[in-house]
Chain A
Amino acid sequence: MSEYQQITKTQAPTGRSLWKDGLRRLRKRKLAMLCLVLVLVYFSLAGFIYLAELLNWRVGPICWAEEVGQKYEPPSLKNIFGTDIFGQSVLRKTFYGAKISITVALCASLISIAIGVPLGAIAGYFRGFVDEIIVWLYSTLSSVPYIILIMAFAVVLRDKTLFGHKLTGITAVYLAIGLTSWVGICRLIRGEVIKHREREYVLAAVSYGCNKRRIIFRHLLPNVFHLVIIDFSLRFVAFIHAEVILSFLGLGEMERPSWGAMINDARIELSRGVWWQMAAATLAIFFISLALNIFGDALRDSLDPKLRVQ
Chain B
Amino acid sequence: MTTYIIRRLLYTIPIVFGVLLLTFCLFTLVRGDISVELAGKNATQETIEEIKQEYGLNKPLFLSWDSQFIDHFKNALTFDFGRARDRELVRDKIKRGVLPSLALMVPMFFGVLIISVSLSLVIAFVRGTKWDTFAVVVCVAGMSIPYLSFILFGQYFFAYKWGLFPVFFSPDLTRSEYVALPVLIGIAAGLGSNLRFYRTVMLDEMRSDYVRTAFAKGLTTRCVLFKHVLKNAMVPIITRVVLAIPFLFLGSLLLERFFGIPGLGYLMIEAIGSRDYFVINAMTYISAVLFVVFNVITDICYALVDPRVSLE
Contacts and interface: CB of A to CB of B under 8 A. Distances in A.
Interface of A: 132, 136-137, 139-145, 147-148, 151-152, 155-156, 191, 194-195, 198, 230, 237, 241, 244-245, 248-249, 259-260, 263, 266-267, 270-271, 278, 281-282, 285-287, 289-290, 293-294, 297, 300, 306-307
B149 A263 contact: yes
A270 B152 contact: yes
B288 A248 contact: no
B239 A156 contact: no
A136 B18 contact: yes
B140 A241 contact: no
Given A195-B308, A266-B152, A286-B144, A148 B283 contact: yes
B19 interface: yes
A145 B19 contact: no
Contacts of A230: 200
A237 B144 contact: yes
B19 A144 contact: yes
Contacts of A148: 26, 268, 280, 283-284
Given A136-B14, A140-B19, A282-B145, A294 B283 contact: no
Contact of A244 (B19, B144, B146, B200): B146
30 contacts: A139-B295, A143-B15, A143-B18, A143-B19, A144-B22, A144-B23, A144-B288, A148-B268, A151-B280, A156-B30, A191-B235, A195-B308, A198-B308, A237-B144, A248-B148, A249-B269, A267-B152, A271-B156, A285-B144, A286-B145, A286-B146, A287-B144, A289-B145, A290-B140, A290-B144, A293-B140, A293-B143, A294-B140, A297-B136, A300-B200
A143 B288 CA distance: 4
Given A143-B18, A198-B308, 12 more contacts: A132-B11, A143-B288, A143-B292, A143-B295, A144-B23, A145-B284, A148-B268, A241-B146, A259-B146, A270-B156, A282-B146, A293-B144
B147 A241 contact: yes
Contact of B30 (A142, A152, A191, A248): A152
B250 interface: yes
A152 to B, nearest CB: 5
B309 A194 contact: yes
A224 B47 CA distance: 60
Nearest to A152: B26
Given A140-B22, A144-B22, A145-B283, A155 B146 contact: no
Interface string B139-171: 011011111110011001000100000000000
